[in-house]
Amino acid sequence: MGCTIIGCGKALPALEIANDDLTALVDTSDEWITTRTGIKTRRICVDETNVDLAERAARAALGWDEGGFNERRIDPEEIDLIVYSTATPDVMVPTCAALLRRRLGLSNAVAFDMNAACTGFIYGLGIAESMMAASAAGAAGASGRNAFRRALVVGGERLTRITNWEDRNTCVLFGDGAGAAVVEWSDERAGILATYLRNDDDTDNALTCPTAFDAPQPFDAQGVSLEAAQAADPGLARIDAELGVTEAVEAGRPRQTLYMHGQKVFKFAVEAMGRAVDEVLERAGLTIEDVSFIVPHQANERIIKYAAKRMKLPLDRFQISIAHRGNSSSACIPMTLSDAYDAGRIHPGDKVVLVGFGGGFTSGAVLYEA
C-alpha cells in the first residue's frame, strides 16, 4: 500500500543557447563552462511562460499527449490534488497551480503552489504523499478531511527571468523547463517507501534572490503619507542587509536576480546529497546495494560525480541530463526522471532514489519502488 508514480512528462522552451553564444554577454568560454559544469546548451523561454511548459509536461504525464511515461491515461476528474513547485511563478495570484488546473480542466483538484527552491519537487512529492497517506488512513472522505487519491506534482521554472545576465558566475548555469508526475494511492503497490526532507540554515547567504514587490506604499509609521509612496522601502533595505546584498544592490545589481557563492553551495550540495540518500535508505531499512537507479538534481555534473564517489556507486546508476539543459531548479528532477523513463532505464520493481538540494538550504530524497 502506498503512493506510486504512474506517469511522468517534461517540456522545454524552443530557444537553445550554446555556451559560445554566452560569450557575447560575459567573459566566459565553452571550455570553462563544459569542464566546470558539464553544461553545453540550455533552453530559454522567450514567449513561453512557466505555466505553458507545465501544461505540456502535465499533458504528457497524464497520457493525453505523446512523449511521456504512462501506466495508463488519466481522466481530468481523477486528479484531486495539484502541488506545483516553483520559485519563479508567472504571477503571484492566481497561483500557477490554479492556472494549470483551469487550463487542463482538472475540476476536482485542490491546487496550490509551493517553493522549496531546487528541492521543490522532492518537497512536493513528500507533501502529496503525506496528504494521500493521511487520507487513506482516515478512510477517505469519512475523516473530516478532503480525500486525496491521485495527484499531479509539478516542478516548473522560468529561472532565466531571475538570472543576472551580466554575472558570469551564475548566468552560464541556468535554464528553463517543467516536469510533472502523476502519483496515485495504491492498495496493492508499495510505491514511495520513504521520504527525507531537511533544512539547514544558509548562514553565509550563499544563495539568495531578494524580491522587490514595488507597488507604491503611501504609509509611514504615523499613518497615511504621500511622501512615503516615493521613498525607498525600509523593510527591503533591512532584508537586503540580512541577506548580505546591500552593497551589490546599491552598486546597481538588479535586486530580483540570483546571487550565489558557488563554492559554498557546491560543498553543501555534495554533503546534502550523500546524507539524504543515506537517511532515506535507513528510513526504508534498505542499503545502497538495493538501489537500482538514482535521479539527482542537476546543478553541476561535478557535484553528481563527487556524490557518486561518496556513495561508492558507478556513475551509470545516475541519470545525468545536464548537458543540454543546465540547472532549472525544481524542474530538474521531474524532467530528469522523465528522461530516465524515456530511455527505458527504470523497470517495474526497481528501487529508485530522487535526491535534491537547493537554496534555503533545503535538501531531501524520495525512495520509491517503480
209 counts as catalytic: no
Give the whole-angstrom CA distance, residue 172 versus residue 167: 9
36 sits near ligand UT7 (criterion: CB under 6 A): yes
Site membership for ligand UT7, residue 172 (CB under 6 A): yes
- Residue 205, CA atoms < 13 Å, CB-side half-sphere: 13
Binding of ligand UT7 by 39 (CB under 6 A): no
Q: Is 333 in the site for ligand UT7 (CB under 6 A)?
A: no
Cβ atoms of 100 and 51 closer than 8 Å:
yes
Could you tell me which of 329, 318, 325 has the C-alpha nearest to residue 358?
329
Q: Which of 53, 62, 74, 118 binds ligand UT7 (CB under 6 A)?
A: 118
Among 62, 269, 270, 311, binds ligand UT7 (CB under 6 A): 269
Q: Does 112 bind ligand UT7 (CB under 6 A)?
A: no
Catalytic residue among 19, 50, 300, 327: 327
40 binds ligand UT7 (CB under 6 A): no
Q: Which of 327, 328, 336, 338 binds ligand UT7 (CB under 6 A)?
A: 327
Q: Does 266 bind ligand UT7 (CB under 6 A)?
A: yes
Rounded CA-CA distance 62/76 in Å is 9
- Give the number of residues written for the chain: 370
Q: Is residue 13 within the footprint of ligand UT7 (CB under 6 A)?
A: no
Q: How far does CA 331 lie from the centroid of its chain?
A: 4
Classify residue 292 as exposed, middle or buried by CB count within 10 Å of its CB (0-12, 13-18, 19+).
middle
- Which residue's CB comes closest to ligand UT7? 262
Does residue 168 interact with ligand UT7 by CB under 6 A? yes
CB count in 10 Å sphere of residue 290: 13
**Which CB atom, from 112 or from 266, has the smaller least distance to ligand UT7?**
266
Q: By CB neighbour count within 10 A (0-12 exposed, 13-18 middle, 19+ buried), where does 70 fall?
A: middle
Active site residues per annotation: 118, 297, 327
User: Where does this chain bind ligand UT7 (CB under 6 A)?
Assistant: 28, 32-33, 36-37, 118, 168-169, 172, 207, 262-263, 265-266, 269, 299-300, 327, 358
